[in-house]
Amino acid sequence: MTFIVSTVSRFLALFGLVMAAGTGSPLRAETLPMLPPLNPEPTGLTIPGKFVWSDLFAEDIDGAKRFYSSLLGWTWRTFGSGVDEYHIAYTDDRPIAGLVYREARAESGAEAGWIVYASAADPGALEARVAAAGGRMLVSPIEVPYRGTHAVYRDGEGALFGVLHSSTGDPGDYRAEYGEWVWTHLFSRDVRAAADFYSELLGYESLDIETTAEPNDFVLASGGHARAGIGAIGPDAPEGARPAWVGFLRVANVDAAAGLVEELGGSVLMLRDLNTFEGRVAVVADAAGATFGLISLNLEAVWDNREERQ
C-alpha cells in the first residue's frame, strides 16, 4: 500500500474536517446495547493491529444511513432502543461499521466523525503506554457480550483510535469487496515517532518507504499484510489541521463514487490516480462532515500475481 501512503500524504486539505471530527467527542459507549459478534463463527485468529471495525458518530442517524446506503449499498440493522440505539451497516450480510448517535458540537467544526478500531488482546492494557506518549484513554474498556471488549484512546498528537478484542477472534485476511474497508491511514506531524509509538503499542512492523519520494512515510504491517499507513501533515496543510486516522472504503469507480458523494450533499476533498493497482483514490466528507476515503484497486490482479496464491 505504498502508493496510498504517498498519495494521500500529498493531499491534506481534508484536515479541516478530519481533525474536527475527531476532537472532544463525548463517546457514550458505556450505554451500548448488546451487539452481534464480528464473525458469525469463531475464527480462532489473533491478528494484532489489524483494523477490524469502524464506528461513525453522527447526530443525524437517518441522514447518515441514507448517505451511506446510497453511496455504498449498505443495509442497516438496529440494536437497542432510544438513545442507546446502535446501528450496524452490512454488505452481503457481513457487518461493516457501526453508527452511534453523537450530538453535534459547534466548536468541533463537524457534525460527525469516524473512529477506526484495531485488534488488541487487552484494550485496557494500553492505557499506561498511551499516557506515557502524551495520550489518554477516552473510553474505558467495555465488555459487550458476544462482541468483545473495546476502548477508545487519543494518542499524543490528538488522533483518536479504538482498540477491540473480538470475542470471536479477528476476521480473516480476505480481499475487501466493494463497500468494505480496505485501508487505514494516519496523518501525523511526526511520522517516525508515530510509527514507533503504534508499532510498540499494537505490535506492528514499521516499514519505512524508501522507494517513494516521501521517505517519511511508513507502512504498518502485521501478520504478513499491510494494515495501515502513516503520512506527514505537510507544510501546505490548512491551518488548524490536526493528526487523525482515516479509513478508506473500496469502490469500483472512485470518480463515480465521488460524484455521488457530492450529489448526496457531501464534498470531495481530494481525487487522483494511484501509482499502482490501476487505482484511484479520493478523500471525501459525508453530508455531516465525517471524513473517509474511497479507493479503487484491482486486487484481483494482485491476487493473480501473488506467490501467496500458490
Residues of this chain that bind other proteins (CB under 8 A): 1-2, 172-177, 182-183, 205, 207, 209, 211, 219, 221, 224-226, 297, 299-300, 302-303, 306, 308-309
3-state DSSP assignment of residue 207: strand
CB of 183 to other proteins, least distance (A): 6
Tell me how far, at minimum, the Cβ of 167 lies from other proteins, in Å: 18
Q: Measured from the CB atom, is 27 or 221 closer to other proteins?
A: 221
**What nine digits make up the cell of 300?**
484481483
CA atoms within 13 A on the CB side of 125: 9
Q: 2 or 188, CB closer to other proteins?
A: 2
The order of strands in the sheet holding 160-166 is: 75-79, 86-91, 94-101, 51-58, 113-119, 160-166, 148-154, 136-144
What is the DSSP code string of 102-123? ---BGGGTBS-EEEEEEE-S-G
Minimum gap (Å) between residue 276 Cβ and other proteins = 9
Which one-letter DSSP state was computed for residue 30?
A: G
Question: Among residues 107 and 300, whose Cβ is nearest to other proteins?
Answer: 300
Q: In this complex, which beta carbon is closest to other proteins, that of residue 137 or of residue 299?
A: 299
Alpha carbons within 13 A on the beta-carbon side of 174: 9
CB of 156 to other proteins, least distance (A): 25
Residue (246 or 287) nearer to other proteins, CB? 246
**DSSP assignment string, 33-72:** -----SSSS------TT-EEEEEEEES-HHHHHHHHHHHH
**Least gap, CB of 174 to other proteins (angstroms):** 4
